Structure 1
Amino acid sequence: MRKVKGLSQQARDAFAESARAHLIQPWPVAGEIGAESRGGIVSGNGIYVTDIEGRRQIDGPAGMWCTNVGHGCEPIARTLYEQAMALSYNSPWYTANDPSVRLSERLANHAPGDLNHVFYTTGGSSAVETALRFMQFANNVLGRADKKMIVARQGAYHGSTYLSASLNGRPRDHDWMDSAGELVIKLTCPNPFRRPAGVSVEAFCDMLVDEFRNTIETYGAERIGAFIAEPIMASGGVIVPPEGYLDRMRALCTEHDILFIADEVVTAFGRLGHVFASKEVFGIEPDIITFAKGVTSGYFPLGGAMISSRLLERLRQSNHADAMFAHGLTYSSHPIGCAVAETNLDLLEGGILAQARANAPYFQAQLKSLEDLPLVGEVRGLGLMACVECVADRESNNPLALDLEVGKRIDAHCQQLGLLVRPLIHMCVMSPPLTISRPQIDDLVSILRQGISLTQDELTREGLWKGCP
């Protein structure tokens, strides 16, 4: 493994000064917007990244759920160069390119049911936006102008563009941002860990399905255009729904002619061991699947929406043959992005998917061992994605006072020890590159255990936490 030195103190200071002076990064707070510097990363190799101080760290969140084949992948790097030299860009308004056509066929072969068509975007937000705009367009063409409402869930995350962000179910996402809230209905988060006291998981699932059924009756199926769901809520804390939940929700959508959109921006391309997880893992065939992130393992911005042939045929047979789906992106079907995705798919099909499926039970079991720590409330997950939820207040099960402090401290300790953590307030999300080995899983879990233990000790010494009753 090649070694990379960190930057000198002078270079680190210049990096921070320049970032504060010119760079605006995602999700800043008003008091720091345009005047902050975040931790610098200078290189990556395999499952590791090296920061500007020269510390090598396990990339616990795989960037943002996306670096599935790992950093420094030479086959993908060669593809980037070769495709750029062959064809760097073409306008999707007037022409098509070979990589996008080839990739589309391969993705259709992996997708469930009749999801045979792909509209390419530049990422997950634009993929979800595309799916929603397609639903609106289709209902206009079919003479159902009122069938536009979208059913989402509390705790969900679907993106940062206007419509996709309107679906987000985390309250803080909407505190200071406008949204198309009038179009969105929010159902209860399907989180078994936070289900009502005294209610079994099976009864909780019944409650969730009944809530959707009642929502359809209340608003009317003629007004609801789509139900959108991440098969596993990713940024909501790796929420694995009760068994049978998605299948029953899909049945209600079918019964009432409501599009079922599976948001697989995170769960596709190996995170759960398959190219698409909807059918292979959860047994459902959506009307639309949105994807991004792992499709190129983060080496190029690309996303897309797989759309049912049935839906397109329905439009072709309508009385409005000239109706225009006036939606597109300059970088739709980008030749470099699609070529990279092809190579990425070669790697996944060539052994990485099998490796991920083989290591997933070990990954989950090793992380589950952290539940013996007093600060840990639950470890949950599936495949190579998991969440360690810390609960500082066991009695109320709502650790608001210490949430931010807990996550911040665990993250700081782990970075010193050699692990990047993505703290979602009090939740530590782990979704490492799919190439991670079992000894490396052991290292990840060991460092996370140390980070949580050090945080427990600090909070206790400072009188901020009294431990479990």
Structure 2
Amino acid sequence: MTNHKQIWEADKRHWMHPWTHFESFQQEGSLILSRARGSRLWDSNANSYFDAVGGLWCTNIGLGREEMAETIAEQVRQLAYANPFVDMANEPAVALAEKLAQLAPGDINRVFFTCGGSTAVDTAFRLIHFYQNCRGMPHKKHIIARRGGYHGSTYAAMSITGKSGDRIAEFDYISDTIHHLSCPNYYRAPEGMDEQQFCDSLVEEFQQKIDQLGADKIAAFFAEPILGSGGVIVPPADYNRRMWELCKANDILYVADEVVTAFGRVGHWFACEEMFGVQPDIITCAKGLTSGYLPLGATLFSDRIYEVISSGDSDRYFASGFTYSGHPVACAAALKNIEIIERENLLQRVVKVGAYFEERLQTLRELPLVGDVRGKRFMMCVENVRDKNTREVFPDSLNIGKWISDRAEEAGLIVRPIVHLNVMSPPLTMDYQEVDFVVERLGQAILQTHSDLVAEGHLPAPSGAVAGAISGSASASIAGSLPA
């Protein structure tokens, strides 16, 4: 099947994508990708794009690496599959488990392999229940998470997720034992509240929830160190640590969901301890673990938890797992991926180039529609608003993020639209000139979208003086981001 039109029609006819919006999908179809190299993608019409989304937060080392292909092919020849259940193991899985234990903070030395991030979170959820039952605390089952947090799409993981746009009426969710606190997004804090006051209020809200439910009923707190698809929210400075300290004081397990932040996204193997001073009990990870070359996730947990669940009843066993847990080919790919990240010093690169990325994106604040620019290093977001002073957003139905991403795509740039947001998570190989390209093309897309919104009556036409100011500041911002 080589004809673009045939592929496009077959996709619409047969493949229901994750998060399919039925009406627009039937009208517009998909962007059909055919090949990739590094950070560059080509569609089936041979158009080229810079992928500032990094696949889906995951193509950390870039695509098309020959040594990854060779490693995968060799493992297929050597041992393409191995049963992971009970007392069967394979060499790549053992080697990867040992490596992850070395990289993870503190006493997190135990690894349970899954098929991706959602199943890693689902496994953490089941492990927590198992652990509390083994402790003789069957009533300690309640889970605390945050509004705006994203934790996956399995039944348990989506129930823990707090993104309003993902909790739709047609699906059911666990609601009696899963609770959500406020999102730590200072841009949306109450008027007149400074960042420290906002942080204090969030910690106090958690304390009140503990008092309400009872610490003896709360099993765990799930938290992304930096919230990902909920809007790339970097919490106030001491928020993560203070929430962790509350967990420790009340015998509540702390789960760091690092499906996005791990393996270099913000310049560390894991962000929880190195960036925020948090020693979690459980870490969930996936995505950058293999840089998207093959599906693989992992639930990492402490020796303390393992000692509890593995002692006591001699007939006890952990009755959970997946056919593809510890898949030898996926684990071999992960080991090679980690080797590349180490060898090419990509963590240090993200720290240096990421600071420049943050700086250049901040110039877009001067443009119309841009309410906030936030994030950390290679995990960034632009929030688009109707009114920059009041922070009023456009109606969700307008899907302003998609307007902007469509115009960016026409200019050879892929950014991710999430309602009124545009999110970026490029490969860790991005260089300074590519940063400039991203900022230039995104700025142009925002300006074009603003003009289109005015032309179609969604915004009032700016006065001459205002229009001139917009044009001048926009030109200066974009010009300042052009490569030297």
Question: What range describes the TM-score normalised by the shorter chain of this pair?
Answer: over 0.9
Distance verdict in 2 for CA 1:91–1:33, change over 3 Å = farther
Aligned equivalent of 2:290, options 276, 296, 301: 296
Partner of 1:398: 392
Which secondary structure does the structure 2 equivalent of 1:182 belong to? Answer: coil
Aligned pairs (5 A) from 1:434-453: 434-453=428-447
- Structure 2 vs 1, CA of residues 258 and 39 (structure 1 numbering), >3 Å: closer, same or farther? same
The correspondence for 1:238, drawn from 232, 247, 251, is: 232
Residues 134, 308 of structure 2: 8 Å contact kept? no
* SS of equivalent residue, structure 1 residue 152: strand
**Which sits farther off after the overlay, 37-46 or 260-269?**
37-46
**Counterpart-to-counterpart distance in 2, 1:362 and 1:73:** 26
The one-letter amino acid paired with 1:77 is A
- CA change 1:35–1:427 in 2 (3 A) is closer
8 Å Cα contact 2:369-2:388 kept in structure 1: no
My pick for the range that moved more, 46-55 or 229-238, is: 46-55
Q: What SS does structure 2 have at the residue aligned with 1:181? A: coil
Structure 2 gap segments, 5+ residues each:
467-484
Correspondence 1:42-81 to 2 at 5 A: 42-81=34-73
Distance apart, 1:277 and its partner CA: 1.1
The residue that corresponds to 2:173 in the other structure is: 179
Q: Aligned AA for 2:78?
A: A
Deviation, 1:417, is 0.4
Paired residues of 1:152 and 1:229 also in contact (CA < 8 A): yes
Partner of 2:381: 387
Distance 1:141 1:270 in 2: 35
The SS at the match of 1:151 is strand
By how many angstroms is 1:322 displaced?
2.1
Aligned to 2:477: none
Judge conservation of contact 2:310–2:316 (CA < 8 Å) in 1: no
What is the letter of the counterpart of residue 126 of structure 1? T
Q: CA, structure 1 residues 35+128, in 2 after alignment: closer, same or farther (shift >3 Å)?
A: farther
Deviations 1:216-262 (A, max 9, x none): 01000111100000000000010000001010000011111110000
Give the secondary-structure state (helix, strand or coil) at the position aligned to 1:377. strand
Q: Distance in 2 between matches of 1:236 and 1:348?
A: 27
Q: TM-score, normalised to structure 1's length?
A: 0.95
SS of alignment partner, residue 389 of structure 1 = strand
Tell me by how many angstroms 1:36 deviates.
7.4
- 1:403 is displaced (CA, Å) by 6.4
Mapped pair 1:189 → 2:189: no
Letter in 2 for 1:170: K
- The aligned counterpart of 2:88 is 95
Flag the 1:378–1:34 CA change in 2: closer, same or farther, 3 A: closer
Paired AA for residue 107 in structure 2: D
1:286-365 equivalences under 5 Å are: 286-317=280-311, 319-350=312-343, 351-365=345-359
Whether 2:136 is the aligned partner of 1:106: answer no
Change in 2 beyond 3 A, CA 1:96/1:186: same
Hey, what's the Cα distance between the residues in 1 that align with 2:411 and 2:25?
29
Partners of 2:277 and 2:331 lie apart in 1 by 28
Q: How many angstroms does 1:34 deviate by?
A: 8.7
Of residues 197, 208, 219 in structure 2, which corresponds to 1:203? 197
Q: CA deviation at 1:37?
A: 3.1
Task: Report if the CA contact (8 A) 1:375-1:467 is conserved.
Answer: no
Q: Map of 1:16-55 to 2, 5 A cutoff?
A: 16-29=8-21, 31=23, 37-55=29-47
Give the secondary structure class of the aligned counterpart of 2:59: coil
SS in structure 1 at match of 2:215:
coil
> In percent, how many aligned pairs have the same letter?
43
Partner SS for 1:50:
strand
1:271 matched to which residue of 2? 265
Give the length in aligned residue pairs.
Answer: 460
Residue 3 (structure 1) aligns with = none
Contact 2:122-2:157 within 8 A present in 1 as well: yes
Check conservation: 1:22, 1:34, Cα contact below 8 A.
no
Q: What is the identity, as a one-letter code, of the residue corresponding to 1:388? A: V
Contact 2:144/2:220 (<8 A) preserved: yes
Runs of 5+ unmatched residues, structure 1: 1-6
Q: Distance in 2 between matches of 1:416 and 1:208?
A: 41
Q: Tell me how far 1:32 sits from its aligned partner.
A: 6.9
